[in-house]
């Protein structure tokens, strides 16, 4: 699968060039404290996010429409004319089914409800007037509709489009080659890491400028990790893998970026996830460690990266109220751009341990990156969506990885067509 113009050769033609790699925006610190938030704290975080993101989505809608429709924060407002409001989507039942009762939850109680601590401002939504509608729990949206009874809001329009700006064009003085692979990096019946070493052999031959390896490196669900014959600690085993990667790139121009994963058995089981710790003996000037999620900058070229399987989790919980004409992969990836959040699903999947305060600080996007990397167990794809190239390289254990080629922008001209992307099987 490929996007963009065809690349005649993926071998790096300028092996003297070393690109400057950096971070953009706040990232979870290496020694972040986590799992100290109380239920009250988690509730307050969700309320703040609902208020802030919801207001920005609603403001974006009002700017586009430029009309005088009434706007209110009260999702249960009773009115004889249409009005706009915003809130979080939730379902009456946690079990997914084809015809769910959909509720819109506001961020604060109307005056009449303040004395009742058990109730929270929610209103049932009626989508019978819409032609197409797809939603997921936790989604923040603005709606326009009519509510004559306080208990049922008949929706005439939904707005959930992106409110964050696109990243500025990069200023690349040379063509840029990037290779991306996501873990697990070994097969389920061994710990030999044969797919990873085959990839590293290819890296030594082609010498791309940047290699991005997205965890997990030592997946906690791997059957052999329960084996009593494991002769070293998980941390030591991880260091051996990184040391071997270090040896492969010795004397090469390739810089390696390691993105952490909460699925690593040797690492922090929390999302957002701090970066890996590497002792001095393993460290190398060509190896960079980044947390999950992270925003990478390569001389103005912006990549948004998360190792968590947001696509799969959203796909499991998404409900088609009315069939949509868009393809599923584009739609799921676009949720992340529109919500400006690497993991907008709420409640989260059972296997994800979210720390609410870290999530509020570090899981949101300030701008739409040029490329958004979303590794998933779903089938690989690469698509232009909402001013961003969204890429799922799938898993290296399935022998798939991705390559990106960027044309230089030294002449001041750069568009999304300057990106060529290819997902291939080894």
Spans in the chain with pLDDT lower than 70: 1, 94-98, 110-119, 228-229, 410-413
Maximum separation of any 2 CA atoms in the chain, in Å: 73
Q: What are phi and psi of 84, to 5 degrees?
A: -115, 145
CA distance 25 to 300: 13
Please say whether the beta carbons of 337 and 272 come within 8 A.
no
User: Distance between terminal CA atoms of the chain?
Assistant: 13
Residues 306-336 pLDDT 10s: 999 999 999 999 998 887 778 999 999 999 9
Q: What is the pLDDT of residue 108?
A: 78
Q: What is the pLDDT of residue 231?
A: 82
Q: What is the pLDDT of residue 97?
A: 61
Q: What are phi and psi of 51, to 5 degrees?
A: -65, -50
Residues near 158 by beta carbon (within 8 Å), at least 6 away in sequence: 130, 133, 141, 142, 143, 144
Q: What is the pLDDT of residue 414?
A: 73
pTM of the complete model: 0.94
Concatenating the DSSP letter of every residue in 71-129 gives E-S-TT--EEEEEEEEEEEEESSSS--SSPPEEEE-SS--GGGTT-TT---EEEEE-TT
Helix (H, G, I), strand (E, B) or coil at 326: coil
Q: What is the pLDDT of residue 369?
A: 97
Q: What is the pLDDT of residue 228?
A: 65
Q: What is the pLDDT of residue 68?
A: 84
Query: Rounded to whole angstroms, what are the CA distances from 147 to 122, 123, 151, 155, 297?
Result: 13, 9, 7, 9, 47
* Orientation angle between helical segments 194-206 and 234-248, nearest 10 degrees: 20
Please say whether the beta carbons of 329 and 337 come within 8 A.
no
Q: What is the pLDDT of residue 285?
A: 94
């Amino acid at each position: 699968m490929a996007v963009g113009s065809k690349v005649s050769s993926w071998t790096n033609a300028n092996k003297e060039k070393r690109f400057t790699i950096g971070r953009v925006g706040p990232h979870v610190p290496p020694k972040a404290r986590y799992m100290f938030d109380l239920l009250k704290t988690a509730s307050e975080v969700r309320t703040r996010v609902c208020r802030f993101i919801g207001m920005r989505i609603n403001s974006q809608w009002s700017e586009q429409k430029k009309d005088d429709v009434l706007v209110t924060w009260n999702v249960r407002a009773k009115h004889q004319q249409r009005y706009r409001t915003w809130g979080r989507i939730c379902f009456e039942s946690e079990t997914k089914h084809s015809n769910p009762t959909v509720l819109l939850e506001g961020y604060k109680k109307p005056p009449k409800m303040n004395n009742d601590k058990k109730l929270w401002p929610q209103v049932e939504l009626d989508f019978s007037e819409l032609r197409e509608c797809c939603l997921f729990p936790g989604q923040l949206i603005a709606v326009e509709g009519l509510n004559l009874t306080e208990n049922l809001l008949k929706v005439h329009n939904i707005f959930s489009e992106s409110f964050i700006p696109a990243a500025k064009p990069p200023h690349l003085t040379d063509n840029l080659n990037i290779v991306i692979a996501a873990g697990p990096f070994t097969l389920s019946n061994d710990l030999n890491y044969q797919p990873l070493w085959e990839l590293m052999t290819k890296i030594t031959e082609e010498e791309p400028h940047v290699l991005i390896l997205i965890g997990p490196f030592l997946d906690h669900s791997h059957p052999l990790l329960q084996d009593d014959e494991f002769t070293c600690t998980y941390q030591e085993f991880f260091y051996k893998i990184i040391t071997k990667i270090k040896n492969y790139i010795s004397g090469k121009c390739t810089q390696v970026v390691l993105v952490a994963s909460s699925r690593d058995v040797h690492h922090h089981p929390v999302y957002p996830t701090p970066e890996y710790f590497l002792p001095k003996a393993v460290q190398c000037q060509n190896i960079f460690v980044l947390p999950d999620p992270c925003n990478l900058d390569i001389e103005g070229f912006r990549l948004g990266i998360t190792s968590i399987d947001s696509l799969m989790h959203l796909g499991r919980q998404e409900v088609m109220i009315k069939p949509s004409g868009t393809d599923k992969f584009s739609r799921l990836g676009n949720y992340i751009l529109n919500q400006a959040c690497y993991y907008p699903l709420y409640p989260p999947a059972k296997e994800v341990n979210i720390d609410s305060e870290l999530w509020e600080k570090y899981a949101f996007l300030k701008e739409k990156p040029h490329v958004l990397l979303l590794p998933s167990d779903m089938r690989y794809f690469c698509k232009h969506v909402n001013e961003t190239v969204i890429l799922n390289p799938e898993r290296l254990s399935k022998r798939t990885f991705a390559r990106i080629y960027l044309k230089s922008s030294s002449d001041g001209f750069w568009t999304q067509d300057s990106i060529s992307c290819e997902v291939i099987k080894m």
